[in-house]
Amino acid sequence: MALRHFLTLLDFTPEELKKLTLRAIEIKNEHKQGKIYEPLKNRVLGMIFEKSSTRTRVSFESGMAQFGGSSIFLSPRDTQLGRGEPIEDSARVLSRMVDAIMIRTFEHEKVVRFAEYSKVPVINALTDDFHPCQLLADMQTYHEHRGSIEGKRVTWVGDGNNMCNSYINAARQYNFELIVASPLGYDPDKALMDENASRVNLIRNPAEAVKGSDLIVTDVWASMGQEEEQNERAAIFKEYQVNPELMSHANSDALFMHCLPAHRGEEVSASMMDHNSAVVWDEAENRLHAQKALLEFLLCNS
Ligand code: CP
Ligand code: NVA
């Protein structure tokens, strides 16, 4: 197989994404049964983190270890990347030493440039614009609880951020309808909205937006890098909290997801996190299984 990267969901075909979900479920079940499966023995994942992480770091590290391989955590504080070594040079050097590289950074353009110069698969582990690995876990979680998401209605409540942009890509690749409920001035990427106008619609009123929905999703009001806007955003977004009252306007079997970390009392109420429609812990766990399926796909199909 030619060199493949995973920078957005659009790098894979809908069929590949569907297969990845089914494979992740299989890998999860076998792992829970105690099966030892080490397809990445002696393989190494380089992990560049320019932003904080709990789930992404631990799921990639555990996934590599469970697959018989290993990983190297690289932070800008301790590498030459943080001292201005060009992305292109870092990509050329690192990709001669490891078998795959995952990057969490600010500008999306950085991962694109890194991938251009890399000899090994590059995985986007979150940029300001997209978080495709989270979507693999979300789609798996929906499938496990409710079956195929195809033809369903999903409502995004809150900031039109990297997760929301990724849900727009998901609507296209997994073929569902997406309603975005964001306050004026905080819409997702306009070009992305326009390209997907047949399946993505904006409804600013949250109660109206969740009507007829099968899945409600939210995320923090201020993403990493926007900390100084926190107070201003808290005031603007205050009608955009997902709580049991809002949830009662959705379909009776609707699920609730949040990529975490959650800010209880802001985008989500404490009671919502424990609501019977919330699948946030399964969603977090599935980061591990979904990314193992992704690593297997990128590294074992060549
Ligand atoms: N959801 C997610 O990516 O979490 P972390 O920031 O903890 O990796
Ligand atoms: N939108 C959030 C997601 C964190 C996993 C952020 O970028 O900080």
* 260 contacts: CB under 8 Å, gap ≥ 6: 55, 280, 283, 284
Taking the CA atoms of residue 168, residue 169, residue 175 and residue 179 in that order, the dihedral angle to the nearest 10 degrees is 0
CA-to-CA distance for 301 and 296, rounded, in angstroms?
7
| pLDDT per residue as tens digits for the range 131-155 | 999 999 999 999 999 999 999 999 9
* Integer Cα distance of 120 and 299 in angstroms: 9
Indicate whether residue 223 lines ligand 2 (CB < 6 A): yes
262-287 tens-digit pLDDT: 999 999 999 999 999 999 999 999 99
For atom 1 of ligand 2, the residue with the nearest CA is 223
Lookup: tokens for 297: 């796909």
Give the residue numbers of the binding site for L-ornithine.
162, 219, 223-224
pLDDT in tens, 199-214: 999 999 999 999 999 9
Q: Give me the DSSP letters along 231-271.
A: HHHHHHTGGG-B-HHHHTTS-TT-EEEE-S---BTTTB-HH
Does residue 300 carry a catalytic annotation? no
In 3D space, the residue among 297, 296, 294, 300 whose CA is nearest the CA of residue 125 turns out to be 294
Please name the residue whose Cα sits nearest to atom 3 of ligand 1: 56
Sign, Cα dihedral of 68, 140, 282, 223: positive
- DSSP H/E element including 127: none
Residue-level length of the chain: 302
Q: What per-residue confidence (pLDDT) applies to 301?
A: 76
Check if 134 is active-site.
Answer: yes
Write down the pLDDT at residue 302. Answer: 59
Cα 119–Cα 124–Cα 128 angle in degrees, nearest 5: 135
Instruction: Round to whole Å and give the CA distance between 278 and 30.
Output: 25
ipTM greater than 0.95: yes
Share of the chain above pLDDT 90, in %: 99
- The confidence band for 35, taking pLDDT boundaries of 50, 70 and 90, is very high
How are beta strands 153-157 and 122-124 bridged, if at all?
unpaired
Give bridge partners of residue 256 from the DSSP assignment. 216, 278
Q: Where are the alpha helices (DSSP H) in 2-86?
A: 14-32, 55-66
Active site residue 104: yes
For 105-124, what is the mean pLDDT?
98
Tell how far the Cα of 198 is from the centroid of ligand 1, in angstroms. Answer: 30
Q: Is 53 in the pocket of ligand 1 (CB under 6 A)?
A: yes
pLDDT at 55 over 70: yes
What pLDDT shows up at residue 1?
Answer: 74
pTM for the model stands at 0.98
Which residues, listed in sequence order, are joined to residue 100 by a DSSP beta bridge?
A: 45
